[in-house]
Amino acid sequence: MSVDARPRRLNLDLFIEVPAVILTFVMMVHISLNAVMRAFWSSPLPNTLEITQYWYLPVIAFLGFIAAQRRGQHVSADLIYEMLPLVTKRWVQAVSFVLVGTVCAGFAWFGLQEALHSFDIRRTAGVSDLPAWPPYFLAPVAFGSLTIQFYLAAVRAVFRPEPPVGAETQEVSV
């Protein structure tokens, strides 16, 4: 019998992904209920478009960005990268992560300025009275989190390089 030697990252993954799943389900029910009420009773739920646009979707998208980076599942085009020597791969990866982390830090800073401005003017969703400024604070939080993740990935790329492709993984026997 063998035991999986991979580290468990359960708590933080659940903290990120469970709210996104719940919110996706709530959004689906909300939109469906709105469609049914509009079709059969000619009385749609008020502000469904605004709630979906300004509240549900930003939370789901930003949690998705964070979860994808945490799991290492962002799309990568590594045609040339795979042909590089192992030492060069480490530094290309590290420089890329630092560059992307710096761009994310810029987005976090700009997002914070926009969120503070939206708070100051008490931004609303379209012509409705629905407050739209709180979700603006998700951008600096999400991009700040991505900044930290990318900088940590850069450090890991330099000090703990990935094993070569085809290297056998060891199983722990019990």
**23-43 pLDDT per residue, tens:** 999 999 999 999 999 999 999
For residues 60 and 50, give the distance between their C-alpha atoms in angstroms, rounded to a whole number: 15
pLDDT 10s digits, 106-144 = 999 999 999 999 999 999 998 889 999 999 999 999 999
Distance of CA 21 to the CA centre of its chain: 13
Q: What is the mean pLDDT of residues 47-55?
A: 95
> Residue 127: CA atoms inside 13 Å, Cβ hemisphere, count?
0
pLDDT 10s digits, 79-98 = 888 888 988 889 999 999 99
Give residue 172's pLDDT band: very low, low, confident or very high (50, 70, 90).
very low
